[in-house]
Amino acid sequence: QVQLVESGGGLVQPGGSLKLSCAASGSIDSIDAMYWYRRRPGKLRELVARISSDGPINSTNSVKGRFTISRDNAKNTVILQMNSLKPEDTAVYFCKADSGYMVFWGQGTLVTVSS
């Protein structure tokens, strides 16, 4: 089992920055890839960024150049640094971990981009 706890959400003005953290605990050695997803109001959950255990990174086109995913293995944490935030980035952001054939989700953290 893997437990994931997100933090760092909040209210930010357009153009601002936030850093989201996802702390993993439990069977962390079994984690392959970790992800950030988001669910914007009225929309389906969508992939934001992915990072593998060996480092390859992917992110969706709408956040490229603005969001950066990184992994601190010493702290068992995945970070999503979000810069140049736009109102359309308002969403609940979720962390996900793949462990073999199992998938684990965090509870989500709300990001609101508004003036």
Across residues 48-66, what is the average pLDDT?
85
Chain segment 59-80, per-residue pLDDT in tens: 888 899 999 999 887 888 999 9
**Low-confidence winner among 3-12, 51-60, 61-70 (lowest mean pLDDT):** 51-60
Report the C-alpha gap between 26 and 12 in whole angstroms: 32
**Low-confidence winner among 3-17, 53-67, 68-82 (lowest mean pLDDT):** 53-67
**Low-confidence winner among 33-37, 54-58, 65-69, 110-114 (lowest mean pLDDT):** 54-58
Any idea what the Cα angle at residue 6 is, between residues 5 and 10, rounded to 5°? Answer: 150
The 18-26 sheet, strands edge to edge: 2-7, 18-26, 77-82, 67-72
Report the C-alpha gap between 66 and 28 in whole angstroms: 28
Position 56 confidence tier, pLDDT thresholds 50, 70, 90: low
Chain segment 90-115, per-residue pLDDT in tens: 999 999 999 888 999 999 999 999 99
Residue 16 has pLDDT above 70, yes or no: yes
Residue 89 has pLDDT above 90, yes or no: yes
Report the C-alpha gap between 20 and 111 in whole angstroms: 9
Report the C-alpha gap between 5 and 22 in whole angstroms: 5
